[in-house]
Structure 1
Amino acid sequence: MEDEGYEGLAVLVVEGRTEFTLRATLIGGFQPLDGRYRWYGRLEAHEELTRLVGDRSAGVELRTTEGHAVGRITEPDLWNRYRIEGTSVPPFRVPFGLDEVEP
Structure 2
Amino acid sequence: MRAGETAVTVTVRLSVQFEPVEGRYRWAGRAAPDATLSAQLRSGTRDVTVRIGEREAAARLGEPDPWGGVRLSGVGRAPWSAVAGA
Superposed pair shares fold, TM > 0.5: yes
2:31 is aligned with 1:43: yes
1:4 counterpart residue number: none
> Secondary structure, in 3 states, of the residue corresponding to 1:29?
strand
**Larger strand proportion, structure 1 or 2?**
1
Q: Could you tell me the TM-score, scaled by structure 2's length?
A: 0.87
Inter-partner Cα distance in structure 2 for 1:66 and 1:82: 23
Q: Which has the larger radius of gyration?
A: 1
Unaligned runs of at least 5 residues, structure 1: 1-11
2:16 is aligned with 1:28: yes
> Secondary structure, in 3 states, of the residue corresponding to 1:34?
coil
1:93 corresponds, among 78, 81, 85, to: 81
Deviations 1:15-45 (A, max 9, x none): x221000101111011011111011110000
> Secondary structure, in 3 states, of the residue corresponding to 1:71?
strand
Unaligned runs of at least 5 residues, structure 2: none
Inter-partner Cα distance in structure 1 for 2:34 and 2:64: 11
Taking a change above 3 Å as real, the CA distance of residues 70 and 60 of structure 1, as seen in their structure-2 partners, is same
2:59 counterpart residue number: 71
2:2 counterpart residue number: 13
How many correspondences in the alignment?
A: 84
Inter-partner Cα distance in structure 2 for 1:18 and 1:26: 21
Question: Percent identity among equivalent residues?
Answer: 31
2:46 is aligned with 1:53: no
